[in-house]
Structure 1
Amino acid sequence: MATPLDAIKEVAEQNLGFYAFCFADEIAASDVQEVAQWADDNDRIFLHTSTDIDEAVVTKNALEAANIGHTHVMYSHDYTGATGGFAGVALDQQYGRTDGVKTVHLKAIRGLDPSDITQTQANEMIAAGVTFYSGFGNSESSVSAIYGGKLSDNRYLDFVMGIDWLRNTIEVSVFNGQRIRRTTPQTSRGMMMTKNDIVMGLEQAVRAGLIAPGQWNGIPVGEVQTYDYLPNGYYVYHDPIDEQSQVDRDNRLATQFTVIAKGAGSIHGADITLVPQA
Structure 2
Amino acid sequence: MAGKTLPLDPVVNILVNLAAKSAVRKAFNLALLIGETTIIPQSERIRTYTGISEMLEDGFKTTDRLYKAAALIFGQAKTPPKVAIGCIGTVTEDETTRVETPVETIAACREANGEWYVGIYCADITKAEHLTVAEYIEAITPNSLYTYTTSDADVLTNDDGNIFAAMKAKNYRRSLGQYSSKHDDAVCAIIGWAMGAMTGTAGSAYTIAYKTEVGVETENSSSVFASSTVDKIKGNNGNVYINRGSSYDIFEEGTMADGTWFDEMIFLDKYQNDMQLSLMDLLYQSNKIAQTEAGMTQLKDAIKEVCETMNKVGFIKSGVWNSTAVLSLAKGDTLPNGYLIQSEAIDEQAQADRDARKAPNIYVSLKLAGAIHHVTVQVDVNR
TM bucket, shorter chain:
over 0.9
Task: Name which of 41, 49, 62 aligns with 2:149.
Answer: 49
| CA displacement at 1:93 relative to structure 2 | 3.5
Which 10-residue stretch deviates more, 113-122 or 101-110? 113-122
Partner of residue 120, structure 1: 228
Q: Does 1:177 align with 2:316?
A: no
Partner of residue 226, structure 1: 331
Please give the TM-score of this superposition, normalised by the length of structure 1. 0.93
Distance 1:110 1:84, change over 3 A: same
Task: Name which of 5, 15, 18 aligns with 2:116.
Answer: 18
Q: Does 1:147 align with 2:255?
A: no
Is the Cα contact below 8 Å between 1:94 and 1:208 reproduced in 2? no
Task: Name which of 331, 354, 359 aligns with 1:254.
Answer: 359
Q: Does 1:71 align with 2:175?
A: yes
Q: Does 1:62 align with 2:166?
A: yes
Cα distance in structure 1, aligned partners of 2:149 and 2:324: 37
Deviations 1:234-265 (A, max 9, x none): 11121112222333223322111111101111
Please give the TM-score of this superposition, normalised by the length of structure 2. 0.68
| CA displacement at 1:277 relative to structure 2 | 4.3
Cα distance in structure 2, aligned partners of 1:162 and 1:53: 33
| CA displacement at 1:53 relative to structure 2 | 4.3
Is the Cα contact below 8 Å between 1:71 and 1:151 reproduced in 2? yes
Is the Cα contact below 8 Å between 1:235 and 1:261 reproduced in 2? yes
Partner of residue 305, structure 2: 200
Q: Does 1:37 align with 2:135?
A: yes
Partner of residue 208, structure 2: 104
Partner of residue 29, structure 2: none
Letter paired with 2:150: S
Deviations 1:203-229 (A, max 9, x none): 100111111111212221011112322
Partner of residue 134, structure 1: 242
Cα distance in structure 1, aligned partners of 2:350 and 2:218: 61
Partner of residue 261, structure 2: 156
| CA displacement at 1:119 relative to structure 2 | 2.0
Pick the structure with more helix per residue. 1
Cα distance in structure 2, aligned partners of 1:209 and 1:26: 39
Partner of residue 85, structure 1: 189
Cα distance in structure 2, aligned partners of 1:240 and 1:68: 37
Distance 1:104 1:40, change over 3 A: same
| CA displacement at 1:142 relative to structure 2 | 3.5
Percent identity, please. 25
Partner of residue 83, structure 2: none
Q: Does 1:237 align with 2:342?
A: yes
Is the Cα contact below 8 Å between 2:317 and 2:369 reproduced in 1? yes
Is the Cα contact below 8 Å between 1:70 and 1:152 reproduced in 2? yes
User: In angstroms, what is the RMSD of aligned CA positions?
Assistant: 1.7
Does the residue aligned with 1:226 lie in a helix, a strand or coil? coil
| CA displacement at 1:95 relative to structure 2 | 5.4
Does the residue aligned with 1:91 lie in a helix, a strand or coil? helix
Partner of residue 5, structure 1: 103
Which 10-residue stretch deviates more, 166-175 or 57-66? 57-66
Distance 1:26 1:220, change over 3 A: farther
Partner of residue 94, structure 1: 198
Which 10-residue stretch deviates more, 150-159 or 229-238? 229-238
Does the residue aligned with 1:22 lie in a helix, a strand or coil? strand
Runs ≥4 in structure 1, deviation > 6 angstroms?
Answer: none
